[in-house]
Amino acid sequence: MTENILEPDLPIIDPHHHLWDLRPLIPAFPEPRHDFIEAIAGAAYYTFDELYSDIQSGHKVVGTVYMECGAFYDASRDEAMKPVGEVEFVNGVAAQGASGLYGNYRPCAAIVGHADLTLGDAVKPVVEALITAGNGRFKGIRHAAAWDADPAVLGPPFHAPQGLYGADAFRTGFAAYTEYGLTFDAWILEPQLDDVIELARAFPDQQIVLDHCGTPLNIASYRGKLHERFDIWRRSIHALAECPNVVVKLGGLAMAFCGLPEDGPAKGHGSEHLASLWRPYVETCIEAFGANRAMFESNYPVDRWGASYPVLWNAFKRLAKDASDEEKNALFAGTAARIYDIEHVLPVA
């Protein structure tokens, strides 16, 4: 699907994308790559070149935030320290982009890594190693807690235990982590939103970022239930928005989990159709949180399931067409710049 780029001069900070190579972990992964299997596996190979190509699609992407995805862990370190390798790798990508050889955008200007918060107080040296590895770009961690009783919802790559955010060991590690003044990204599924609400209330001074609108589900045992669960989701979103330490990412809805659209990958849906599918969720989140506590995200390459990069951002621009200039600046760049402390990538007014 090829479209004219809407509002091409609107600055964008993409606050959520990944880079990875899963081929060594999936021996049967075909060479050359097969687009369909790539999408199912989470686009198993997403390089700097592909990121560069997406960002140069016509939208004015001035910077990005890298989100941990278990990529390039350092096999030479002990288990707790292995995630430091991911931040070292991404910091190199960020340095590559900062050279200016690829234009005025700054990929991976902020890096969100991973540390196992169930380590309790022992997570501190891991966090400190991540900070050092990021060379000023490391801004926080994500410890995903996505879980469902139906194993078909998430599949084998995801192994978070039930109730992770409420577990004593996790809470001890979370308390230790709050001392660093960094961000925390939370990825859960819609039925787990209460877990994030309870965490945010227990730690009111910790900045928490809810990923993917809380991940509404239209897969496996939840297929066809988006409508009947919408009011449950909406009540949870409004309750979470009452916690001033929480902001929300508007995106992730093109994942196969959400089924918006149901058919993928890369079926060529246009931005008008995608905007109509996503509107109830995006508008509810903006109504609840306000533009200064919300940010559009690509969640690329996972959202390749339902949308190409340029069409995805066109859909977001359609959803924000009635917003004021101030609100648009917040939704597309300002909120991300503030939360992840990368105001320096924004164009000078």
Q: What CATH code is carried by the domain that includes residue 102?
A: 3.20.20.140
Specify if 282 maps to a domain. yes
Average pLDDT value for the chain: 91
pLDDT per residue over 214-233, tens digit each? 999 999 999 999 999 999 99
* CA–CA distance, 313 with 56 (Å, rounded to integer): 12
Instruction: For residue 27, name the pLDDT band (cuts at 50, 70, 90).
Output: very low
303 and 252 Cβ atoms separated by less than 8 Å: yes
Specify if 2 maps to a domain. no
The confidence score (pLDDT) of residue 29 equals 38
Specify if 49 maps to a domain. yes
Mean pLDDT of the region 311-337 = 98
Describe the crossing of helices 84-98 and 48-55 by its angle, rounded to 10 degrees.
50
pLDDT per residue over 252-311, tens digit each? 999 989 999 988 766 889 999 999 999 999 999 999 999 999 999 999 988 988 889 999
Mean pLDDT of the region 242-259 = 96
pLDDT per residue over 146-185, tens digit each? 999 999 999 877 789 999 999 999 999 999 999 999 999 9
Q: Whole-prediction pTM value?
A: 0.93
The confidence score (pLDDT) of residue 186 equals 98
pLDDT per residue over 81-106, tens digit each? 999 999 999 999 999 999 988 888 89
| DSSP character at residue 241 | H
Specify if 310 maps to a domain. yes
The confidence score (pLDDT) of residue 255 equals 92
Distances (CA, A) of 111 to 90, 137, 171, 185: 7, 6, 23, 11
Specify if 164 maps to a domain. yes
* CA–CA distance, 342 with 183 (Å, rounded to integer): 13
Task: State the residue range of the domain holding 146.
Answer: 11-345
In the chain, the percentage of residues whose pLDDT exceeds 70 is 92
> Shortest CA distance to 262 belongs to which of 321, 230, 306?
306
Instruction: List the alpha helices (DSSP H) in the chain.
Output: 35-40, 48-55, 84-98, 124-134, 168-177, 193-202, 226-241, 271-289, 309-319, 325-329, 335-339
Residue 345 has pLDDT above 80, yes or no: yes
Higher pLDDT pick, 79 / 33: 79
State the distance between the two ends of the chain, measured CA to CA, in whole angstroms: 33
Specify if 1 maps to a domain. no
342 and 65 Cβ atoms separated by less than 8 Å: yes
Domain count, the chain: 1
Phi then psi for residue 264, to 5 deg, are: -160, 180
Residue 22 has pLDDT above 60, yes or no: no
> Shortest CA distance to 216 belongs to which of 180, 263, 172, 262?
262
Residue 341 has pLDDT above 50, yes or no: yes
> Shortest CA distance to 260 belongs to which of 290, 286, 227?
227
The confidence score (pLDDT) of residue 304 equals 86
DSSP strand pairing (45-46 vs 20-21) = antiparallel
